[in-house]
Amino acid sequence: MKFNLPSIDTPPLGSLSQERLLGLLVDQHGNAIVGAFYETLLQDDEGKTFLSHAAVHDRLSASLLEWLRALFGEKDVRVSKALQDQQRIVGEVHARIKIPIHLVMRGALVIKTRISQLLLEQELATPAMMSAVLLANARVDSAIAFMSSAYEKNATAQARLDEAYRLFSLDQDASIEKEAQRASLMEWSQATLFSLLRKQERAGLARLSDSPFGLWIRHRADFMFGPSTAFQDLLAAMERIDTDLLPRLEAMGQQAEDLGILTELQTCVDHISFLIGELFQTIITLENGRDPLTRTLNRRFMSAILGREIKFASDRKSPLCVILLDIDHFKAINDAHGHQGGDAALRQVAQIIGENVRPCDFIFRYGGEEFLILLAETPIPQARSAAERIRLALATRPVAVGTATVKITASFGIANHAGHPDPDYLVRAADEALYRAKANGRNRIEIAEI
C-alpha cells in the first residue's frame, strides 16, 4: 500500500527525510498498524485477558495510535527526555496491571514488522528503504528499553510488596486466626454430620470449598501459604472431601451407614486441622502492615491485594466488589471533641465494619475518615446488602467519644470488577460513586456505572 500524497506540492517519497517518511506512514496507516497489533495479541489466550474488555480495547486503541505518532514525530525518543519519561510511565502501568513483558515484546515485533512491510511497498531506493527500517526499529526498540527498565523496577517493588504482605499476613493475630479457622472447619464438619443423620438432606451436602472456611482458604490462606508443601497437601485433602468422600456419602441414600467412609471423612478433617496448625507455625513478624489506630490494613498492601483478587476474579470469572465509605461530617466530630474523640470514633467505626463483613474480606484504612472494603466472590446485590448493614449499624449505634456519645453516618460508593485489569480503575469507580452519595445528601449508597 503506497502513500496518498497530501498535495501536488509534496516532494517525491525518495526525497523525504527518514523521519518525515516514517511520520507520513504512521499518519496514513496508523489505524492499520493498531489493527494488526490487536489482531495478533487477541489471538493469544494470555493477551485476551488484558485486551478483550471493550472499555480497555477502545481506550488503548486511541492511546496506541497517539503513542505511535509521538514516537515517529519530530522528537527522537533516544534524545528526548519527555518522550523517555512517557515510555517509563507506560512501563509502570504495564507492571502495575501485571502485563507479561513477553506480550509487550510481541506487540513491539508486530509494530516493527508492519512498518517494515509498509516501507517495502514504497518506491524507495534500497539504501533509503533500509535506512528508514533501521530508524523505525531503533525508535521502537529504544522506547521498549525505557519501558522495560521502568517495568522491571516497578515489578520488583511489587513482588517485594506481595512477599511483605504474605509475611505480614502470617503474623497478624495468628493464634486467634488459627483457632477461628479450626472452629470454622469443625462447624462445617458438624453440619455435615447432622445432614447425614437427617437422611432426607443427604443429597445436598455442602461442599467444604463453598463454606466460610473454603472462602478463607481461597482468599487469605492461599496468599499466606500458597507456595508451601503443607498448603498443597491441605488443598488436596479438601479436594478429596469434595470430589470423593461427599459424593460417596450422598450415594448411600437410605442404605446402612458406611462407617468406613465416615472414618475417612473424619481423618481428612483432622488432617486439615493439623495442617492449619503446622502452617501457622511459619509465622514471621512484619511491622507497619496495619493502621495502628483502627487495626485495619493500611494502604501499603492495597495494590498487591487488589491486583491478586482482580486476577483471581478474571481467571475464575467470579464477581468482585469494592466498597468505599466516608464518615459524614467527621470534621465536626474533631472540632467538637478533639482529635482524641475523633480517634475513638474511627476505632469504633472500624470495629462496626469488621462485625458486618466476612473473614475472607479485606478492610483498609483508605484515608483520614475513609475505609475501603474488598469483597471477594461478591456480586453487586450482596455488596449493597453488606454496605446497607454497615450503614444501618453506624446510624443506629451511638459512638462513645470520651464522656459523650455521637451519632455517626457514612456515605458509600460501590464498584464491581467488570474486567478491567487495573486496580486503580476499580477504586476510582468506587470513589466517583462515593462522591455522588455525598452530593445526593450523604448517609446513602451509590453504585458505580461501569
The pLDDT tens digits for 247-282 are 888 887 555 456 788 889 999 999 999 999 888 765
pLDDT digits (tens, 9 = 90+) for 42-57: 888 777 777 765 655 6
Q: How far apart are CA 450 and CA 436, in angstroms?
A: 14
- Is pLDDT above 90 for 95? no
pLDDT on residue 165: 62
Select from 337, 2, 287 the least CA-distant residue to 168: 287
pLDDT at 155 over 90: no
For residue 229, is pLDDT > 50? Answer: yes
Does the structure show a pLDDT above 80 at 36? yes
Mean residue pLDDT of the chain comes to: 84
Lowest mean pLDDT among 59-63, 172-176, 340-344: 172-176
Q: How high is the pLDDT of residue 443?
A: 97
pLDDT reported for residue 255 = 54
- With 0-12 / 13-18 / 19 or more C-beta atoms within 10 angstroms meaning exposed / middle / buried, residue 87 is buried
For residue range 174-225, list pLDDT tens digits in order.
677 888 899 999 999 998 888 887 765 566 788 999 999 999 998 888 877 7
In the chain, % helix, strand, coil (3-state, to 5) comes to 70, 10, 25
pLDDT of 287: 42
278-328 pLDDT, tens digit per residue, is 887 655 433 456 787 888 888 878 888 999 899 999 989 999 999 999 999
Query: Is 436 strand, coil or helix?
Result: helix
pLDDT of residue 157: 64
Residue 434: its pLDDT value, please? Answer: 98
Element housing 365 (H / E)? strand 362-365
pLDDT band at 239, cuts 50/70/90? very high
Cell readout for 374 is: 474488598
Question: Does 12 score more than 80 pLDDT?
Answer: no
Element (H, E) at 58: helix 54-71
pLDDT of residue 99: 82
pTM metric for this prediction: 0.55
Dihedrals phi, psi of 369, to nearest 5 degrees = -125, 25
Q: Is the pLDDT assigned to residue 85 strictly greater than 70? A: yes
Q: Report which residue type is found at 257.
A: E
**Going by C-beta distance under 8 Å and a sequence separation of 6 or more, which residues neighbour residue 247?**
none
Q: How confident is the model at residue 3 (pLDDT cuts 50, 70, 90)?
A: very low
For residue 375, what is the enclosing H or E element? strand 370-376
